[in-house]
Structure 1
Amino acid sequence: MSLDSYTDAVAHVRQQFEEGLIRAGFKETQQGWIGLAGAPTNSTQVLISFPARFPFKPPRVTPVLPDAVPWSWHRELDGALCLIAEDDHDGLWWTAAPVFLEHVADWLSQATTGWPDDRPDLDLDRYFRPSEKDTRTYLYEEPALLGDGPFRFRPAKNNTMRAGKGALPKKRANLGNDRAAYVADVGEVDIPPRTWADISALVQPGNKLDARIRRHEVSVVLLRYRRDEQDGAILLEVWPTVSGEIAARRLKSAADTSAARTARAGVHRSELSNKSVAIIGLGALGSFIADMLARAGIGRLTFMDGDLVLPGNIVRHLVGPDAVGLSKGEAVKRYLVARNEITHEDIQVDDNDLTNPAKAARLISSHNLVVNATADFSTAALLHTVAESLDTHILSASLHDDGTAYRVDILPPIDGASSVPRLETAFNERTKAPMLFEAGCGSPISPTPPHAVVEAAAAAVRHSIGLLTERAVHPAGEARDLIRVPERKNN
């Protein structure tokens, strides 16, 4: 498709949409298309305009009379209707004018009834324009969110400002590079404020916040609010204007809290926080398994590996050049602790290989799951035999045929299921790469690519979480060919 063809296709979509508006009684003006939308007995005159990215962005709809539609969380700062959420952009369905107008009518109906089934989106940020001068990111932690009162932001690395304790001086000169801040709670917010005057009407009058701002004692306000028991916060830059009013602009901010760091960890986060996993083998595959399990919220980890990190390892390994010379278990531990995924006390490291059945039994008995990532048959067989004798299961993950396939085995399989069969991979259909050797290494260097390691690790973690939450993905595990695309079967 040439660029001309693309332009013609976009123009055609717009023409079709405009013809639909004409059929619905809309008239074209310099600002856009004006007409009536909604139920015939309760219609509203609206202006429909096209954003620059139409049809990849939906048309904008604004009431001709701003107050003809109730103000709510479903309107933009300029009064436009918030018609389509970001998670409802599949298929560009709004390009059909009748469908789009029906959606607008439904929006107007919901607005009339007060949005009874509204979801509590915490998007107060979009009702304030961003700061024109301050592009830094402001980070605040749990203490800054507790109670009303003053605090300060201090400069930190990476163009950030961090919340810190400290009394606010009476003179701005005594702040240095810090910024005087104040926490204010406005409680449940039914209609989003759009100006400082709106906020001031919601703030408790006893804290004299307006007076503090006018005296330049406060230049940043961390505003807490709630929607249907969901807690939100917005950071505003505030200052008195020549006219005596207080101006407010949004600062780029983010919560550096435990809740913010765990919200995206998955639906099993809380359940996994009480689980413990031992990983045998912290090479490339084991290191990424450890990382993903820590991100998922595993509460306690044990690492066992007798090898060291060497320069050649880091192409595929989780850790970088700064870990060369450390034991692999210690290197992964330091990496995870530095990322705040897990505390130092919750990771135990054993810099030895597993060769003893008694030690295997202790590991299996003291952990909810043991994962073997050594790619060593004897280690897998040892763990399998011990797990069977203890009437439990371990998980073994490995890459095969120069990274063209992987296996994840639950050993022994659950409820006597058959083991995962061996794959006949595409590796056997192509010329095998020549073997490479490295000084000090008794076996050929594996040419397994990094992406194959991550794919295998992700599969291993998926099955691990299934076992830990008693929702097994498969009773025996899985095997996958990473080169050949499976043939589709016709029904």
Structure 2
Amino acid sequence: MTLTEYDDYVEYSRQHFEEGLIRAGFTEDDNGWRGTIVHAGGSTEVLIALRSRYPFQPPRVVPLVPDAVAWSWHRELDGSLCLVAGDDHEGLWWTEGPAFLEHVTAWFEQATAGWPDDRPDLDLDRYFKSSDDERLYLYDELARYPSGFVRFRPAANNTMRIGGGTRPAKSLKNSTDRFGYVANLGEVDVPPRSWGDVSARINPSVDLDRRIRNHAIEIVVLIYRRGSHDGAVSLEVWPTVDGGIAVRRLRSGADTDAAKTARSGLLAPELRGRRVAVVGVGALGSFITDILVRSGVRNLSLIDGDVVMPGNLVRHLVGPEAVGLSKVAAVTQHLVARSGIEVADITMIDHALTSGDEAVELLSDHDLVVNATADFATTALLHITAQALSKRIVSVAIQNGGTSYRIDLLPPLDGADPVPPSSFAVDQPELELFEAGCGSPISPTPPYAVIEAAAATVRHALGLLVARPLHPAGEARELSIGAVGIHE
């Protein structure tokens, strides 16, 4: 699409939408399109305005009489109707005038009904204008400060971290700390939009207004509840010259275990008690380990006898700071620093798996063993031991210079046939790159192949851990650019 074609598309979209409004009886003035929405609760005059980003942003709809419609979580701070949820990915449905007006009508009918079955989004932040302070304010478990005073202290990366404490009796010259109070609004049916709304909901014995006017409090952290969900918002407050109190929202977020694990997936609670061993934490095994931890696994054993070399870094999880460390130590260090797992929850075995006794112990002590060594002898040792113990391993290997991978459940479930040998065609130049100290050519496996194979391996591993396997034997997949082949 050329720039001219883009401009034509935008212009056509506007005209097409406005024609739909005209057919519905709307008339244009300097501020937008005026018309009446007839709904089950009566009729409401509204103003519809096409914003600058239209059609890639929905039109703005506001009642001509702001208080003609009850204020609720479904209205913006400026009084406009909240018509599109943040997770609405159904396309630009609002570009069709009739469909858009139907949506507006449905909004009014839901408002008349009191928003039954309302989704309790925790987005109180959007009802306050944002502060000029661009720092990120981090809070931990706010239950630690019930209706109590707090202090925010500067921390790394332009953040402010919460802690207990009240403002000292004497002013601390040049202090960079900011002092605040944690207040509980309880269940919030209608979002507050000003300090007056907030103050009316807070226990008057605290006398926050006086403390704010005396500059003893600069920040108020509000805890609130919607349905069965708890939310929080951090506000910056200060006295105005006319005796009022101004309020702006700060950029804030929870630094808690719950916040860090909420995006781990629905299986995370079930996985926390599982124990997994990863044999081989090179490029592939390191990413498998990382994804397991991010998915909720919190008890690991890592087995590898190699060290991190500079040439490993392009495909490995760890960075240059890990060069010279054993791979198990390097991966452990990375996980502890970035994923919140404790050192005590990771067992490091910095030598290769070679004996039957070790294999028996490994399989006996873990819910699952993942083999990422791509070593035939190690795979055979674990496979035979698993058969003897009526256990099962997941074994993965990237093949054909990184153009395919295979994942095997060994032995397969319920007597299923194993994944057949790969039949993917290999069409690549002869390898000629060698590195000192290596007895074989350097693998040309690209990083994307490592990460894709790791993700697929973890899917199979998690399926076994929660007794919902993806496939009884595993899978093989081609990874060449443009290829779509898969064997299961």
Q: TM-score, normalised by structure 2?
A: 0.97
Q: Which moved more, 1:166-175 or 1:375-384?
A: 166-175
Most deviating of 135-144 and 54-63: 135-144
After superposing on structure 2, the runs of 4+ consecutive aligned residues of structure 1 that deviate more than 3 Å are 143-146, 170-175, 484-489
User: Is 1:142 matched up with 2:141?
Assistant: yes
Deviation at 1:38, TM superposition (A): 3.1
Change (3 A) 1:486 1:284: closer
Q: 2:404: which partner in 1?
A: 405
Alignment correspondent of 1:237:
236
Structure 1 distance, partners of 2:320, 2:200, is 56
Structure 1 match to 2:449: 452
- Are 1:11 and 2:11 matched, yes or no? yes
SS of 1:75's equivalent?
coil
- Gaps of at least 5 residues in structure 1 are none
Aligned match of 1:272? 271
Whether 2:314 is the aligned partner of 1:335: answer no
**In 2, distance between residues paired with 1:423 and 1:484?**
17
2:82 is aligned to 82
Code of the residue aligned with 1:446 in structure 2: it is S
Distance 2:485 2:377 in 1: 37
**Residue in structure 2 matched with residue 473 of structure 1 by the alignment:** 470
Structure 1 residues 169 and 76: CA distance shift in structure 2, 3 A: same
Q: Offset at 1:89?
A: 3.2
Query: In the alignment, which of 431, 434, 437 is matched to residue 434 of structure 1?
Result: 431
Higher mean C-alpha deviation, range 158-167 or range 406-415: 158-167
Alignment of 1:203-214 (within 5 A): 203-214=202-213
Aligned counterparts, 1:108-257, within 5 A: 108-132=108-132, 134-143=133-142, 146-174=145-173, 176-257=175-256
Distance change >3 Å, CA 143–CA 55, structure 1 → 2: closer
- Cα gap change, 1:466/1:175 in structure 2, threshold over 3 Å: closer, same or farther? farther
Q: Once the 2 structures are TM-superposed, how far is the Cα of residue 145 of structure 1 from its aligned partner?
A: 5.3
Residues 217-226 or 35-44, more deviating? 35-44
Give, in whole Å, the separation in 1 of the partners of 2:485 and 2:432.
Answer: 35
Distance 1:99 1:305 in 2: 60
Cα separation, 2, equivalents of 1:172 and 1:450? 55
AA aligned to 1:110 is Q
Deviations 1:78-97 (A, max 9, x none): 00000011222322111111
Report the 3-state secondary structure (helix = DSSP H, G, I; strand = E; otherwise coil) of the residue aligned with 2:34: strand
Residues 252 and 87 (structure 1 numbering): CA distance in 2 closer, same or farther, change over 3 Å?
same
Q: Would the aligned equivalents of 1:398 and 1:407 in 2 still touch at CA under 8 Å? A: yes
**Is the 8 Å Cα contact of residues 284 and 317 (structure 1) preserved in structure 2?**
yes
Which range moves more in the overlay, 58-67 or 475-484? Answer: 475-484
**What is the aligned partner in structure 2 of residue 423 from structure 1?**
422
| Count of aligned residue pairs for this structure pair | 486
* 2:39 paired residue number: 39
Shift of residue 437 of structure 1?
1.7
For 2:167 and 2:339, locate their aligned partners in 1 and report how far apart those are by CA, in whole Å: 31
Name the CA shift for 1:465/1:385 in 2 (closer, same or farther; >3 Å).
same
Aligned equivalent of 2:25 = 25
Residues 478 and 484 in structure 2, CA contact (< 8 A), matched pair in contact too? no
Counterpart amino acid of 1:312? G
Measured in 2, the distance between the counterparts of 1:373 and 1:289 equals 9
- Report the Cα offset of residue 340 of structure 1: 3.6
Matching residue's letter, 1:250: R
CA displacement 1:162-207 (0-9 Å, x = unmatched): 1123332134445711001111111110000000000000011121
Deviations 1:454-486 (A, max 9, x none): 010000011111110111111111110001656
Provide the rounded CA distance (Å) in 1 between the counterparts of 2:84 and 2:150.
Answer: 38
- Please tell me whether the aligned partners of residues 300 and 347 of structure 1 are also in contact (alpha carbons under 8 angstroms): yes
Residue 40 of structure 1: CA displacement? 7.1
Residue type matched to 1:393 in 2?
R
Post-superposition shift, 1:144?
Answer: 6.5
The answer (yes or no) to whether the contact 1:463–1:473 under 8 Å persists in 2 is yes
CA distance, structure 2, for counterparts of residue 98 and residue 53 of structure 1: 20
Q: Are 1:425 and 1:484, in contact at CA under 8 Å, matched by a contact in 2?
A: no
Q: Do the aligned partners of 2:166 and 2:179 also contact (CA within 8 Å) in 1?
A: no
Aligned AA (1:180): F
Give the Cα separation in 2 of the matches to 1:143 and 1:202.
18
Tell me the amino acid that sits aligned with residue 385 of structure 2: V
**Rounded Cα–Cα distance in structure 2 between residues aligned with 1:258 and 1:293:** 17
CA distance in 1, matches of 2:332, 2:84: 44
Secondary structure of 2:112's counterpart equals helix
Q: Unpaired segments of 5 or more residues in structure 2?
A: none
One-letter amino acid of the counterpart of residue 114, structure 1? G
Greater mean alpha carbon deviation, residues 338-347 or residues 247-256? 338-347
CA distance in structure 1 between the aligned counterparts of 2:484 and 2:348, rounded to whole angstroms: 44
Q: Which residue of 2 aligns with 1:66?
A: 66
State the match for 1:376 in structure 2: 375
Which TM-score applies when normalising by structure 1?
0.96
**1:338-388: CA deviation from partner (whole Å, max 9, x where unpaired):** 114311100000011111112111111110100000000111111111111
CA contact (8 A) 1:179 1:219 kept: yes
Paired with 1:355 and 1:488, the residues of 2 have a C-alpha distance of: 35
1:349 aligned onto 2:348: yes
For 1:36 and 1:351, the matched residues in 2 are separated by 74
1:454 partner letter: I
The answer to whether the 8 A contact 2:431-2:441 is kept is no
Counterpart of 1:325?
A: 324
Give the Å deviation of 1:99: 0.8
Measured at CA, do residues 278 and 186 of structure 1 come closer, stay the same or move farther in structure 2, by a change above 3 Å? Answer: same
Distance 1:243 1:41, change over 3 A: closer
Structure 1 residue 214, shift from structure 2 partner:
1.2
Deviation of the 1:432 alpha carbon: 2.5
Q: Which amino acid aligns with 1:397?
A: V
Query: Cα distance 1:6–1:484, how it changes in 2: closer, same or farther (>3 A)?
Result: closer
Identity of aligned residues (%): 58
The one-letter code matched in structure 1 to 2:358 is K
Q: Retained in 2: the 8 A contact 1:404–1:426? A: no
Q: Given residue 432 of structure 1, which amino acid in structure 2 is its aligned partner?
A: P
Contact 2:280–2:302 at 8 Å: present in 1 too?
Answer: yes
In structure 2, C-alpha distance between the alignment counterparts of 1:21 and 1:426, rounded to whole Å: 58
Deviation at 1:243, TM superposition (A): 1.0
Q: Within 1, Cα distance between the matches of 2:128 and 2:302?
A: 49
